[in-house]
């Protein structure tokens, strides 16, 4: 697993000042209709590494909606949560390719 960086700073639990991320999410090559949600993950990176992660509750709020054969982008601002990890949920029929670009973050300092 690689470390994600922006402006020379790690975007991870190693930087407790990060409170939220600004992302651009794009779905493309969609084979059915659906929606994407981007909530904070309740697990820490250490829980994942040790195999002790819990399956988070599936969110019911849509961040991005699409129909079959559409390419749809959307800007997302999401809290980093207690552990600095966000989840990406594809709640749709069929498959899709997902492209995510981190464009920035909010720092409490």
- Residue 109 CA to residue 99 CA, distance in Å, equals 29
What tokens appear for 66 in the block?
A: 């699409």
What tokens appear for 60 in the block?
A: 């019911």
In total, how many domains does the chain have?
1
pLDDT recorded at residue 77: 93
Mean pLDDT within 11-20: 66
Tell me the whole-structure pTM to 2 decimals. Answer: 0.79
Burial class (CB in 10 A: 0-12, 13-18, 19+), 22: middle
Q: What is the DSSP letter of 89?
A: E
pLDDT recorded at residue 34: 94
Tens digit of pLDDT for each residue in 20-79? 889 999 999 999 999 999 888 888 888 888 999 998 888 888 999 999 999 999 999 988
Residue-range definition of the domain harbouring residue 54: 5-10+18-107
Q: How many CB atoms lie within 10 A of CB 27?
A: 22
Query: Beta strand pairing status for 89-92 and 72-79?
Result: unpaired
């Amino acid at each position: 697993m690689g470390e994600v960086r922006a402006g020379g700073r790690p975007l991870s639990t190693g930087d407790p000042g990060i409170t939220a991320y600004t992302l651009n999410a794009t779905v493309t090559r969609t084979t059915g209709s659906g929606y994407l949600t981007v909530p904070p993950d309740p697990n820490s990176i250490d829980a994942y590494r040790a195999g002790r992660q819990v399956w988070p509750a599936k969110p019911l709020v849509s961040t991005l909606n699409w129909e079959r054969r559409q390419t749809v982008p959307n800007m997302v601002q999401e809290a980093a949560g207690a552990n600095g990890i966000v989840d990406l949920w594809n709640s749709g029929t069929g498959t899709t390719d997902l492209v995510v670009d981190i464009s920035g973050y909010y720092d409490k300092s």
